[in-house]
Amino acid sequence: MVPSASAEDMVELSSKEPRLGISTAIVVAIAMTALASGLGAGITPAFASADPPVVKTRRALDFLGQAAVDWQNQFGCSGCHKQAMTIAALGTARSRGYDAAKPGIIQTLIDGLLTLNSGQQPDGCFTLNNGPDSTEATTFGGRGLEAYDRYFRPKKSNLLAAADCLLSRQASDGRLASDHTELPVAQGDFITTAHGIFTWNRSFELTGNTSYSNAANRAVSWLRGRVSVIQAAPDNFTTQDKAMLLAGLGGSGAGTSDSDVVSMRNLVASEQQADGSWKLRNSETGGNGHATGQVVFALRECGYTRSDSAVDRGTQWLFDHQQGDGSWAPDSWEGNPPSQIAPSMWGALALATYASPLNGLRVAPISGTAGGSATVSWNPVDGASSYDLIRGNVAALTELSDHVDLGPAACLAAATPSTSFQDGQNPSAGQSFFYLMRIRWDSTHDIYGRSSGGRDRIPSSGDCPP
C-alpha cells in the first residue's frame, strides 16, 4: 500500500527525471527560523537546557488538541470556546506549515461543536447549557466554523447559518453585544464583535453576499470608535477588550500602518509587564498565558513580527513560561477555576501564527557531476545543535493505524552541524527517493514529523543513531 502521505508529503526524486522530479516538499522536523519567519529574532541562541522553540510550539498544539478532546469526552458538551479556539489554533498552525494534528482530533472537535449539548441549533445559532440562543456562544461557534472551513474540510452551510444568526443579532451601532460573562474567556462586547468579523468575512469570501461584508464593516467601525474611549480610561477595559479590538481590525486587513492599530499597539505595549507578559486586567497581580497569548496573537494578526519589541518579549515569555506538558498555568486568574484549555488556548494560537519552514527541504542537482549528484539542503532551526538526514524509497512507505512506516532508511548524515548534504546515489529505474530531516539538541532528537493524517513517521530500519 502506498499511502497518500508518499507523493504529497515527501521530497521525491524519480529515476525518470533524476534529481529533478521534485514533488510537493515537506521537512519532517518542525523548524522555526529567523530567516523564514522572524521567530528567532531576539532569542538568545543558548538552548543547552531548553527545548527548541519549534518543539515547544508543537507541544502546545498537541496539548491543546488532546485537552479539548478529553474535556469533550468527559462532559459531552459543545464547550463554547473550547472546541472553537482549539480548531482555530490547529487550523492556523496548519496554514503555517506545522505537522498535522494527531489522528481524529479535528473531526472529534468539529463533531462536538456541532452536535453535542449546546451545539449549533436548526436556526444556526448556538446555545449555552441548552438554554436560549446565545450571541456569545454563536460568536465562538462562528469562529470555530470559520477556521474549520478555511483550513480543513468545509462546513459552508454551518458557517453561513451561524453568520446569518449573528446578522440578526448585530446592534445598530455595529457591535455584537455580549449576553454571557464567564471570566476571563467571555466578557464584554469586544471579543464577540471580533469573532463576528472573522465569521462574516469568511462568509463573504465564500458567497460574495454583501450582507456579510456590510455587517463586518459596521463591526469594524464600532471597534474603531472605541479606540479613543479606551485611551481615555484604559483601566476600565480588560486586556481581552484591547487585544480583541486589535484582532478584529487585523482580521479585516488593517495593518501596521493603520493609525488605530498603531494607537492600540502602543497602548498594550505600555501595559506589558517587565517580564514580557500581560495581565488579564491592570488590577491583577501578574501575567499569564491567556492574556499574553491574546495580545501576541492580536499583534501578529495586524502584521507585527518579532522585530516589534512587544511581540518579541511576549513571545519569549510564552516560551519561557510554558509547562512541560505544553500548557500554561492559570496564574493570576479570575473567575472560576478553569479547565486545562482556557489558560493555554491563546498561547498556543499565538505561537501557531509563526510560519514553520516545513517545506524548506530542498533537492538541487549538481550540474556536470557524474552519476547525477545532488545537494539536499534545509533551513537552520533555532535551538538545534545538529541534524539527521535520512533517505528512503517511496515504494516502501506504508501508513499504518498508529504511524507511517518509512521502510528501510539510509542514514546519510548523523548529528551533522551542516544544513546541507551532497548525495551521489541515484534511484534505480522506476524508483523514487524521499529525504527527511530531524533536529537534535542536547542529548535528544526530534521526530521525523507526521503524515498529513497526523501519524509519526518511523523508519523500520537504518535510522540514524540515537
Instruction: Identify whether the C-beta of residue 273 lies closer than 8 Å to the C-beta of residue 331.
Output: no
**CATH number of the domain bearing residue 21:** 2.60.40
Q: What is the DSSP string of 140-177?
A: HHHHHHHHHHHHSS--HHHHHHHHHHHHTT--TTS---
Residue 265: inside a domain:
yes
Model confidence pLDDT, tens digit, residues 46-83: 333 489 999 999 999 999 999 999 999 999 999 889 99
d(CA 216, CA 214): 5
Domain encompassing residue 408: 4-31+372-458
Helix axes 135-151, 156-167, angle to 10 degrees: 150
d(CA 93, CA 87): 10
Under 8 Å CB-to-CB from 168, ≥6 apart: which residues?
none
Sign of the dihedral defined by the CA atoms of residues 69, 73, 74, 78, in that order: positive
Q: Are residues 348 and 391 both part of a single domain?
A: no
Helix (H) or strand (E) holding 11: strand 11-14
Q: Are residues 249 and 396 both part of a single domain?
A: no
Q: Which pLDDT score is estimated for 428?
A: 87
What global pTM score does this model have?
Answer: 0.90
Phi, psi (deg, nearest 5) at residue 261? -60, -45
d(CA 233, CA 228): 9
For the chain, what is the domain count? 2
Q: Which pLDDT score is estimated for 369?
A: 58
* Backbone dihedral region for residue 372 (phi beyond 0: left; psi -120 to 50: alpha; all else: beta): left
Under 8 Å CB-to-CB from 79, ≥6 apart: which residues?
68, 71, 72, 112, 118, 339, 341
Q: Which pLDDT score is estimated for 359?
A: 63
Q: Are residues 283 and 176 both part of a single domain?
A: yes
Model confidence pLDDT, tens digit, residues 216-245: 999 999 999 999 999 999 999 999 999 999
Residue 464: inside a domain:
no
Q: Are residues 14 and 79 both part of a single domain?
A: no
State the Cα angle at 194 between 287 and 243, rounded to 5°: 25
Pairing of strands 133-134, 126-127: antiparallel
Q: Which residues of the chain have pLDDT under 70?
A: 1-49, 357-359, 368-372
d(CA 281, CA 190): 14
Residue 340: inside a domain:
yes
Q: Which pLDDT score is estimated for 79?
A: 85
Indicate the residue among 297, 324, 352 that finishes a domain: 352
Q: Which pLDDT score is estimated for 357?
A: 54
